[in-house]
Amino acid sequence: VSLQMMKYAWDNYKRYAWGLNELKPISKQGHSSNLFGSIQGATIVDALDTLYIMEMKEEFKEAKEWVEKNLDFNVNAEISVFEVNIRFVGGLLSAYYLSGEEIFRKKAVELGEKLLPAFNTPTGIPWALLNIKSGIGRNWPWASGGSSILAEFGTLHLEFVHLSHLSGNPVFAEKVMNIRKVLSRLDKPEGLYPNYLNPSSGQWGQHHVSIGGLGDSFYEYLLKAWLMSDKTDEEGKRMYYDAVQAIETHLIRKSSGGLTYIAEWKGGLLEHKMGHLTCFAGGMFALGADGAPSDKTGHHIELGAEIARTCHESYDRTSMKLGPEAFRFDGGVEAIATRQNEKYYILRPEVIETYMYMWRLTHDPKYREWAWEAVEALEKHCRVDGGYSGIRDVYSNHESHDDVQQSFFLSETLKYLYLLFSDDDLLPFEHWVFNTEAHPFPILRKEDESKEEKQK
Ligand code: DMJ
Domain harbouring 412, CATH code:
1.50.10.10
| CA-proximal residue: ligand 1, atom 10 (nearest) | 348
Confidence class of residue 450 from pLDDT cuts 50, 70 and 90? low
Whether residue 395 contacts residue 383, with contact meaning beta carbons closer than 8 Å, is answered with: no
Residues 132-140: contacts with CB within 8 Å, 24+ apart?
132/37, 132/39, 132/73, 132/75, 132/77, 132/78, 132/79, 133/74, 133/75, 133/76, 133/77, 134/76, 137/81, 139/199
Whether residue 21 contacts residue 407, with contact meaning beta carbons closer than 8 Å, is answered with: yes
- Predicted local distance difference test score (pLDDT) of residue 454: 60
Residue 39's Cβ-side half-sphere holds a number of Cα atoms within 13 Å equal to 29
325 assigned to active site: yes
Instruction: Count up the domains in the chain and report the number.
Output: 1
Instruction: Work out the average pLDDT over 148-153.
Output: 99
Q: What is the pLDDT of residues 44-60, one digit of tens each?
A: 999 999 999 999 999 99
- Predicted local distance difference test score (pLDDT) of residue 446: 86
Burial (Cβ within 10 Å: 0-12, 13-18, ≥19) of residue 35? middle
Q: What is the pLDDT of residues 167-209, one digit of tens each?
A: 999 999 999 999 999 999 999 999 999 999 999 999 999 999 9
Distances (CA, A) of 302 to 178, 220, 283, 315, 329: 34, 18, 11, 20, 21
Whether residue 73 contacts residue 132, with contact meaning beta carbons closer than 8 Å, is answered with: yes
- Predicted local distance difference test score (pLDDT) of residue 451: 65
Q: Ligand 1 center to residue 451 CA distance, Å?
A: 36
159 assigned to active site: no
The Cα 242–Cα 221 span in angstroms is 14
Residue 339's Cβ-side half-sphere holds a number of Cα atoms within 13 Å equal to 11
* Domain limits for position 207: 1-453
- Predicted local distance difference test score (pLDDT) of residue 33: 87
Whether residue 399 contacts residue 39, with contact meaning beta carbons closer than 8 Å, is answered with: no
**Cβ contacts of residue 224 below 8 Å, gap of 6+?**
158, 433, 434, 435
Q: What is the pLDDT of residues 335-355, one digit of tens each?
A: 999 999 999 999 999 999 999
| CA-proximal residue: ligand 1, atom 8 (nearest) | 277
pLDDT at 452 over 70: no
Q: Ligand 1 center to residue 159 CA distance, Å?
A: 15
Confidence class of residue 456 from pLDDT cuts 50, 70 and 90? low
Confidence class of residue 300 from pLDDT cuts 50, 70 and 90? very high
- Predicted local distance difference test score (pLDDT) of residue 404: 98
| CA-proximal residue: ligand 1, atom 3 (nearest) | 437
The Cα 378–Cα 356 span in angstroms is 17
447 assigned to active site: no
Q: Phi first, then psi: what are they for 386, rounded to 5°?
A: -110, 25
Instruction: Work out the average pLDDT over 63-92.
Output: 98
Classify residue 204 by its DSSP letter: B
Q: Which of 348, 410, 416 to mutate to test the pocket of ligand 1 (most atoms within 8 A of CB)?
A: 348
Q: Ligand 1 center to residue 437 CA distance, Å?
A: 6
- 254 bridge partner residues: 260
- CA-closest candidate to residue 20, choices 47, 44, 41: 41
The closest-lying atom of ligand 1 relative to the alpha carbon of residue 276 is: 11
- Interior CA angle at 438 toward 436 and 440, to 5°? 105
The Cα 211–Cα 277 span in angstroms is 8
Q: Ligand 1 center to residue 456 CA distance, Å?
A: 39
Distinct helix (H) and strand (E) counts, the chain = 18, 18
- Predicted local distance difference test score (pLDDT) of residue 453: 61
Q: Ligand 1 center to residue 408 CA distance, Å?
A: 7
The Cα 408–Cα 91 span in angstroms is 11
- Predicted local distance difference test score (pLDDT) of residue 448: 75
- Predicted local distance difference test score (pLDDT) of residue 106: 98
Q: Which of 86, 276, 354, 402 to mutate to test the pocket of ligand 1 (most atoms within 8 A of CB)?
A: 86
Q: Which of 218, 413, 436 to mutate to test the pocket of ligand 1 (most atoms within 8 A of CB)?
A: 436
| CA-proximal residue: ligand 1, atom 6 (nearest) | 436
264 assigned to active site: no
Q: Ligand 1 center to residue 352 CA distance, Å?
A: 12
Q: Would the annotation count 436 as a binding residue?
A: yes
- CA-closest candidate to residue 79, choices 89, 69, 93: 89
Tell me how crowded residue 114 is: count the other CB atoms within 10 A of its CB: 22
pLDDT at 21 over 90: yes
Confidence class of residue 213 from pLDDT cuts 50, 70 and 90? very high
- Predicted local distance difference test score (pLDDT) of residue 85: 98
Whether residue 424 contacts residue 363, with contact meaning beta carbons closer than 8 Å, is answered with: no
Q: Which of 22, 159, 216, 313 is catalytic?
A: 216
The Cα 71–Cα 50 span in angstroms is 18
- Predicted local distance difference test score (pLDDT) of residue 297: 97
- Predicted local distance difference test score (pLDDT) of residue 268: 94
The Cα 352–Cα 340 span in angstroms is 24
Instruction: Work out the average pLDDT over 121-125.
Output: 98
- Predicted local distance difference test score (pLDDT) of residue 426: 98
Tell me how crowded residue 155 is: count the other CB atoms within 10 A of its CB: 26
The closest-lying atom of ligand 1 relative to the alpha carbon of residue 83 is: 2
Confidence class of residue 359 from pLDDT cuts 50, 70 and 90? very high
The closest-lying atom of ligand 1 relative to the alpha carbon of residue 216 is: 6
Confidence class of residue 299 from pLDDT cuts 50, 70 and 90? very high
pLDDT at 72 over 80: yes
Residue 121's Cβ-side half-sphere holds a number of Cα atoms within 13 Å equal to 27
Q: What angle in degrees, to the nearest 10, is found between the helix axes of 234-250 and 171-185?
A: 40
pTM for this structure? Answer: 0.98
How much is the mean pLDDT over the chain?
A: 97
Q: Which of 49, 325, 353, 403 is catalytic?
A: 325
pLDDT at 306 over 80: yes
Residues with CB under 6 A from ligand 1: 86, 217, 277, 348-349, 408, 412, 436-437
